[in-house]
Amino acid sequence: MENIGKYEVETFPMSRIATIDIGQVGLKKHHIKALIELDVTEARKLISEKKKRSEKVSFNSWLIKCISHAVEESIQIHGIRKGKKKVVIFDDIDISIVIEREIQGKKVPLPYVLRKTNEKSVSEICNEIRNGQKQPIDGEGDYILGEKKNDLLMKLYYTLPGFIRRLVWKHMIGSPFLTKQSMGTVMITSVGMVGKINGWVIPVSVHPLCFAVGSIVKKPGVIEDRIEIREYLYLTALVDHDVIDGAPAVRALAKLTRLIESRYGLT
């Protein structure tokens, strides 16, 4: 063949297969999307001060705590449908996050489920995330962090044809209890924190509630009728319209906005 030029062929990471499946299944969810801009100037200052005092806190761990509290106050927002007429609403808030690790020389995002975040402090959440970042990866099939898994079933999953894998996902998200056990009820992805993007990241998710944490940018803001340079976080929320109406969903997200901008848990 002519005019091809130089190229190289790379091995497709097996961990990407699950990402592709989630994307295809997630597109069928009836998510309401909200693009939110949050002033995190004062919160960032307090977190920086706490770090100087060697307190165990990070922006992400604090944000997870804020989200946990907001969900706890509007618990229906993380409910999961059971059949056509029922919704299961769990007391515990299990949040799935993504931790980037290196496998076979490539950085790949791996899932980690933080259990009962509503009962944990910011420092406890921070410690758990750091432990997940340090967790050794045993082998090629080790694509889930934090909890014991059946390695044989995981390896089998990656060898199945695509239509069978999607049937597995359909079965999983059709069971609220299997969903919570496998991947929690809330998803937080922080891909926008890797590099500065002046805008929102729009994710695809199979979770009833998903947040995409974007970049933090400096821009003018009005504070007590004065224009100041502030730091704003771009945050995207996906809410399952099948389990909650628009009005209560907006009230829940407004509650989250107040928690974040009032520096909840930091003062």
Average pLDDT over residues 40-48: 95
Helices (H) and strands (E) in the chain, counts: 8, 8
Q: Given this structure, which CATH class describes domain 29-261?
A: alpha beta
Closest C-alpha to 199, from 218, 215, 210: 215
User: Which of the four pLDDT bands, split at 50, 70 and 90, describes residue 159?
Assistant: confident
Task: Give the mean model confidence (pLDDT) for residues 218-224.
Answer: 91
Q: What is the pLDDT of residue 224?
A: 87
- Cα-flanking dihedrals φ and ψ of residue 11, to 5°? -75, 130
Local confidence band at 137 (pLDDT 50, 70, 90 cut-offs): low
Residue 259 CA: distances (Å) to CA of 37, 63, 86, 125: 13, 9, 30, 17
CB 190 within 8 A of CB 60: yes
pLDDT of residue 141: 47
Q: Is the dihedral of CA 31, 95, 99, 66 positive or negative?
A: positive
**Which two structure tokens, joined as six digits, stand for 92?**
């515990």
> What's the average model confidence in pLDDT over 126-151?
68
Of the ranges 2-6, 7-11, 53-57, the best mean pLDDT one: 53-57
To the nearest whole percent, how much of the chain has pLDDT over 90? 54
Instruction: Give the span between the Cα atoms of 134 and 128, in whole angstroms.
Output: 10
Residues 99-113: tens digit of each pLDDT: 877 666 666 778 889
Residue 62 has pLDDT above 70, yes or no: yes
* pLDDT tier for residue 50 given thresholds of 50, 70 and 90: very high
Give the relative orientation of helices 41-52 and 59-73 as an angle to the nearest 10 degrees: 120
Within 13 Å and on the Cβ side, how many CA atoms surround 248? 14
**Mean pLDDT of all residues in 83-89:** 90
Mean per-residue pLDDT for 206-235? 93
> What does the pLDDT average to over 199-210?
91
Q: pLDDT at residue 56 above 70?
A: yes
- Number of neighbouring beta carbons within 10 Å of residue 69: 17
* Residue-wise pLDDT tens digits, 231-257: 999 999 999 999 999 899 999 999 999
pLDDT tens for 163-203 read 888 888 888 888 899 999 988 999 999 876 667 778 898 99
pLDDT band, very low/low/confident/very high, at 11 (cuts 50, 70, 90): confident
In sequence order, what are the beta bridge partners of 239? 32, 209
Domain ranges for the chain: 29-261
At 80, list the tokens. 């999961």
Pick the range with the lowest mean pLDDT from 18-27, 79-88, 249-258: 18-27
Q: What is the pTM of this model?
A: 0.86
DSSP annotation of 145: B
- What pLDDT does residue 123 have? 94
φ, ψ of residue 184 in degrees (nearest 5): 75, -170
